[in-house]
Amino acid sequence: MLAPTAVGVIVPSTQAALARAAGADYVEPTVVGDLVRRDAQGRWARDPGYTQPAAPSFAVLVPGDLPLSDPTADPGPVTDYLGAALAAIGTVALPGAKVVLGSGAARTVPDAAPLDAARVRFADVVRQARDLARVHDLRVVLEPLHAGETNLLNGIGEAVAFLDEYGIEGVDVVADLFHVMTAGEPLADVAAHADRVGHVHLADTGRRAPGTGDWPVAELLRVVREAGYDGTLTIECRWGDLAAELPAALAFVRAADPGV
């Protein structure tokens, strides 16, 4: 098992060995485009070429063309996809691994859809993902995304209120500094709900590597740690030269983390 203070990074499998050699404690794979693909029959399944070590967390759960909040869409493909994807994740995950449900395009409410009905539909999807994940000893965490990526749940406070409104228990939220800063969400608002944070994504100004800008990385970590968050930390950013930039980014995050 990884230590709670472990720091990882989201990179493609093709760069995973490089990331670990640079000092990352783990790699957080993306589900779509890395771990699962359509097979010859058009069914979603684990990519036979995926050979990475067991991971503590996974990102990008759902493809953008799978409608998660359209109340008029056939729910069958969503159920089938979640069942297949979460089963695949379970084969390459550490016990209790976190699966990030962000997927902005997939959850965007269609223009013609009534908002209330769309929210009910998305709540059903979140519950379904939670329950299917539990079968494989996984935990779904809901990621708020800024308004440029989706029109549904654009802040940590909104995500917490949504989970409470629909009585969705057992699902925490992601504190992603890129989305917090892009949405203009004050850290005071994050702190008000920090006890509901179940995963952390980190970046710096312009979504570059931590330590290269002026975003409040250390302040976010202090807020979530003081609220009791005892999980790992994942860097999700844009890289220029991964091998050159990652060691400094990892060192910066480790120095900024007050620990547990």
pLDDT digits (tens, 9 = 90+) for 169-178: 999 999 999 9
pLDDT of 239:
98
Q: What is the mean pLDDT of residues 30-53?
A: 94
Identify the band that residue 260 occupies on the pLDDT scale cut at 50, 70 and 90. Answer: confident
Structure tokens at 74: 């056939």
Q: What is the mean pLDDT of residues 176-185?
A: 98
What pTM value is reported for the model? 0.97
Q: What is the mean pLDDT of residues 53-77?
A: 97
- CATH class label, 7-256: alpha beta
Give the gyration radius of the chain's Cα atoms. Answer: 17
Quick count: other Cβ atoms within 10 Å of Cβ 257? 20
Q: What is the mean pLDDT of residues 164-184?
A: 98
User: For the chain, which residues make up each domain, given as ranges?
Assistant: 7-256
Q: What is the pLDDT of residues 106-132, one digit of tens each?
A: 999 999 999 999 999 999 999 999 999
Q: Could you give the CA distance from residue 81 to residue 76 in angstroms, rounded to a whole number?
A: 9
Q: What is the mean pLDDT of residues 52-60?
A: 97
Looking at the chain, the number of H-run helices and the number of E-run strands are: 9, 10
Judged by DSSP in three states, 159 sits in helix
Round the average pLDDT of the chain to a whole number and report it: 97
